[in-house]
């Protein structure tokens, strides 16, 4: 209320300059009461530069801190709401109906399945290679420690490649899980947006 009174007083007065030093040590001048100095005295100068009057603080430092904190929280909330609306508009543009969303999910999963298929082929090739290695190892009674270095290197390389393919396959399985989780989360939000927009699964709007 004091702040409102101070501004009302300023609007009723004509002429003069307000001056003050804020909490950061910065000096301000203005033709109206200075917001940055609502927690401290402000001087109103006449045209000659003499002090016409001194305005008392409208807020204490604690009150000003609370006002600033509330204003900041409100600004952050408005920014979050604007960002949320922007994301919602972008989702509706990208997925005008569930059919489009389902197709993009299927395409994303199909790309991962292609990679998984390639991994399985590589695993089969490595299994075949290991059979050939084991056949060569029979000349050494199946004991790798008795095999020559070139054969030991083939065994080691084969085993390493098998582990690499297994890790890669695990990553692809996890990727499919991430894709499904993402699309599931989007679908929950999109169904709300489609309902609000009156959009059916096929993308048509029911006649009213």
Q: For residue range 185-200, what is the model confidence (pLDDT) as tens digits? A: 999 999 999 998 887 6
| CA 169, 172, 174, 180 torsion-angle sign | negative
Please give the Cα distance from 35 to 38 (Å, whole number): 5
CA distance 135 to 130: 8
Going by pLDDT thresholds of 50, 70 and 90, the confidence category of residue 15 is: low
- Evaluated on CA atoms 41, 45, 50, 51, the torsion sign reads negative
Q: How far is CA 177 from the centre of its chain?
A: 20
pLDDT tens-place string over residues 67-108 = 788 889 989 999 999 999 999 999 999 999 999 999 999 999
pLDDT of residue 13: 46
Q: Which two tokens stand for residue 190?
A: 């999109």
User: Are residues 38 and 59 in contact, defined by beta-carbon separation less than 8 angstroms?
Assistant: yes
Question: Quick check: pTM over 0.75?
Answer: no
- Beta carbons of 79 and 49 less than 8 angstroms apart: no
What's the sign of the alpha-carbon dihedral 78, 84, 88, 90? Answer: positive
Please, what is the Cα angle at 105 between 195 and 207, to 5 degrees? 25
């Amino acid at each position: 209320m004091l702040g409102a009174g101070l501004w009302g007083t300023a609007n009723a007065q004509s002429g003069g300059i307000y001056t003050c030093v804020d909490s950061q040590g910065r000096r301000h001048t203005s033709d109206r009461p200075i917001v940055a100095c609502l927690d401290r005295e402000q001087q109103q100068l006449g045209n000659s530069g003499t002090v016409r009057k001194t305005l008392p603080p409208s807020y204490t430092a604690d009150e000003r801190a609370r006002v600033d904190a509330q204003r900041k929280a409100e600004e952050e909330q408005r920014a979050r709401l604007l960002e949320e609306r922007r994301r919602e508009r972008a989702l509706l543009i990208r997925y005008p109906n569930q059919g489009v969303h389902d197709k993009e999910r299927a395409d994303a999963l199909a790309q991962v399945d292609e990679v998984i298929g390639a991994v399985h082929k590589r695993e089969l090739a490595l299994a075949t290679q290991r059979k050939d290695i084991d056949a060569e190892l029979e000349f050494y009674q199946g004991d790798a420690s008795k095999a020559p270095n070139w054969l030991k290197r083939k065994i080691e390389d084969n085993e390493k490649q098998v582990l690499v393919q297994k890790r890669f396959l695990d990553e692809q399985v996890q990727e499919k899980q991430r894709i499904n989780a993402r699309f599931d989360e989007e679908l929950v939000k999109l169904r709300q947006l489609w309902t609000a927009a009156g959009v059916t699964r096929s993308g048509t709007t029911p006649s009213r």
